[in-house]
Amino acid sequence: MMIFRKLRNITLAALSSLALMPAAAQDMLANQAPIDRKLRSVDSVMLQHLMINEEWESPAADLYEDWNNLYAHQQTELPDSFRIDLRDFCMPTPSRVITSNFGPRWKRQHKGLDIKVFIGDTIRAAFSGKVRVVKYEARGYGKYVVIRHHNGLETIYGHMSKQLVSEDQEVRAGDPIGLGGNTGRSTGSHLHFETRLCGVALNPAIMFDFANQDIVGDEYVFYRDSYERDGRVATQLRGANGLHGYNPADVNSPNQGKSYASNSAASVRYHKVKKGETLSSIARKHRTTVTALCRLNRIGKNVRLRPGQILKYT
């Protein structure tokens, strides 16, 4: 944002100066115009490079006030709403086995997903961005990495046996960032994976579908009032069990068949829009009304749905 403000100020100053120039000086500028046109393409390339450098320098700078390597996460002011682009993604691991889900666990909140990996398995960056933290926490994450992404998310990768990146390093989606392990507060080799927005933990299951090794849609929209009303964002997808994210029966998990407590009154269910679907067809499918869908998703009845769009239906 800083670079655009500077360019705007320079442009306004130049226009002001031009307005005060005598006619002879303006004629000289007109004669120089063909040269300026030749240089315009060069200037555009330079501007592109400056914009890219600014973006890499501080990912999601409009959302976060600072950049430091001191803490894993810290809640800051949340936006009223924020659209998270999920398209530039890579699954952090090819494992489909969820050993512990998001939500209440052992009288405390588990703020991520535990995914079964073996010591030495490659862990990859979920999105492009910049590594903010590479640390070791003996009574918590063990060897962990925090990456801030251009889509506004920060992802945390815990309990690794080895970190392959350094702080302030730029990474692309899919780049290796570490190896699976069993470090820190861990009872077996696995990857602890968190997705956070302004320090607030969001259930990775609302964005990542580990069973199908895919994202659930092209984007996810976060609403602050919904988060504050619910007290936490422990939402679930279709087929999920209570506040825990995935039903163990939906993945090839060692917990398959194990019973989990659920809290259906607090659950939120989602529908991924398919090509040709309308609000009416979605309402019929989930035994609700178009009015209810519009109220839940803050949309009008004539909205044009996009394939891959995520809608709440409860």
Task: Give per-residue pLDDT as tens, 100-140.
Answer: 888 887 778 888 999 999 999 999 999 999 999 999 999 99
Q: Is the dihedral of CA 258, 94, 306, 227 positive or negative?
A: positive
Structure confidence at residue 32 (pLDDT): 55
Type and span of the H or E element at 42: helix 23-57
The span from the CA of 4 to the CA of 79, in Å, is 22
How many CB atoms are closer than 10 A to CB 137? 15
Six-digit token string for 104: 């209440």
Give, to the nearest 10 degrees, the angle between helix 23-57 and helix 2-20.
180
Q: Identify the DSSP state of 79.
A: P
Class of domain 81-268: mainly beta
Whole-structure pTM value? 0.61
The domain locations on the chain are: 2-57, 81-268
Say if residue 262's pLDDT is above 50: no
Mean pLDDT, the chain, rounded, equals 77
Structure confidence at residue 156 (pLDDT): 97
Angle made by CA atoms 265, 193, 145, in degrees to the nearest 5: 145
The span from the CA of 253 to the CA of 257, in Å, is 9
Structure confidence at residue 241 (pLDDT): 33
**Distances from the Cα of 251 to the Cαs of 130, 159, 203, in angstroms?**
31, 22, 17
Structure confidence at residue 225 (pLDDT): 83
The span from the CA of 236 to the CA of 218, in Å, is 17
Q: Of the candidates 140, 139, 147, which has an alpha carbon nearest to the alpha carbon of residue 164?
A: 147
Six-digit token string for 27: 């004629």
The span from the CA of 205 to the CA of 46, in Å, is 40
Angle made by CA atoms 23, 24, 28, in degrees to the nearest 5: 115
The span from the CA of 125 to the CA of 246, in Å, is 22
Lowest mean pLDDT among 53-67, 116-130, 153-167: 53-67
Judged on CB neighbours under 10 Å (0-12, 13-18, 19+), 66 is exposed
How many CB atoms are closer than 10 A to CB 112? 24
